[in-house]
Chains A and B, each alone.
Chain A
Amino acid sequence: EVQLVESGGGLVQPGGSLRLSCPASGFLFSSYWMSWVRQAPGKGLEWVANINPDGSEKHYVDSVKGRFTISRDNAKNSLYLQMNSLSAEDTAMYYCGRVWQWLCDSWGQGTLVTVSS
């Protein structure tokens, strides 16, 4: 069974940083693209970033380029999202997901990031 468990969310001040983690199990992590998707409170889904199996190819939504960095550690079966220069617009539930045929077929339960002073 695929398991993805996000952690690292919390309350952070505007301009601050946060690092999300997503350890994975139940599948061969090093063979899959992985993704982060977020959802602001009461709003729809927004794709954030994808990363290829060896970490050499990364893609981001324009609104986070230069501020967020997706990475992975295949030895630890873990996905990460380093978030810098956070603003209120980044407040959301952040989900990590396994990518299959260029879409997300398995999701974690999410971790909530709140940016507020």
Chain B
Amino acid sequence: DIQMTQSPSTLSASVGDRVTITCRASQSISSWLAWYQQKPGKAPKLLIYQASSLESGVPSRFSGSGSGTEFTLTISSLQPDDFATYYCQHYDRYSWTFGQGTKVEMK
């Protein structure tokens, strides 16, 4: 089974900061990687798919990169609405695996 490992688990940042979250796969997953944002008590929201494609309606300050086993989610300038937990996800026809999550909190 493919394992997804995110780092860091928690990230303290301020409004305006550039934030980068890393996700590593235990084996190559090509570009089958998505990123979600989740706020407390809410369902996850799709941000990025195919490693780097921005979901419609998602602000352009969010970007994704990588392929194979290493991926990053970058928020170019952190906004107050961005404090949340972020999950990476490997997906294919047969199974999905999520990373353990990265909580972005206020410094």
Listed in ascending order, the chain A residues whose CB lies under 8 Å from chain B are 35, 37, 44-47, 50, 59, 61-62, 95, 101-105, 107-110
One of B42, B96, B100 near A103 (C-beta < 8 A): B96
| A47 engages B43 (CB within 8 Å) | no
Q: Give 13 A-B contacts (CB < 8 Å), ordered by A residue.
A: A44-B100, A44-B101, A45-B38, A45-B87, A47-B98, A59-B93, A101-B50, A102-B32, A102-B92, A103-B96, A104-B44, A105-B46, A109-B43
User: CB-CB < 8 A to A50: which residues of B?
Assistant: 96
Q: Which of B32, B44, B96, B100 has the most CB of A within 10 A?
A: B96
Determine the chain A residues whose CB is within 8 A of the CB of B89 once the complex forms.
Answer: 45, 103
Measured in the bound complex, the distance between the Cα atoms of B51 and A101 in whole Å is 13
The contact of B43 among A35, A103, A110, by CB within 8 Å, is: A110
Question: Does A102 lie within 8 Å of B91, measured CB to CB?
Answer: yes
- Residues of B within 8 Å of A, CB-based: how many? 26
**With A and B bound together, what is the CA distance between A59 and B92 in angstroms?**
11
Give the Cβ gap from A10 to chain B, nearest Cβ, in Å.
18
Would you give the 0/1 interface string for B7-50, flagging 1 where the beta carbon is closer than 8 Å to chain A? Answer: 00000000000000000000000001010101000111110011
Complex interface: chain A residues within 8 A of B65 (CB): none
**Chain A, interface SS category:** strand
B44 touches A45 (CB 8 A): yes
Q: Does B55 contact A (CB under 8 A)?
A: yes
Q: Which residues of A contact B49 (CB under 8 A)?
A: 101, 103, 105
Contacts beyond the supplied A45-B44, A101-B49: 12 A-B pairs with Cβ under 8 Å: A44-B87, A44-B101, A45-B87, A45-B101, A47-B97, A101-B50, A102-B93, A103-B34, A103-B46, A107-B45, A108-B43, A109-B42
User: Which residue of B has the minimal Cβ distance to A35?
Assistant: B96
* Shortest Cβ gap from B94 to chain A (Å): 5
B57 nearest CB across to chain A (Å): 11
Contact with A along B75-107 (1 / 0, CB 8 A): 000000000000101011111111111000000
Q: Is the CB of A45 within 8 A of B98?
A: yes
Contacting pair A95 B98 (CB below 8 A): no
Known A102-B92, A102-B93, A103-B91: A46·B98 in contact at CB below 8 Å: yes
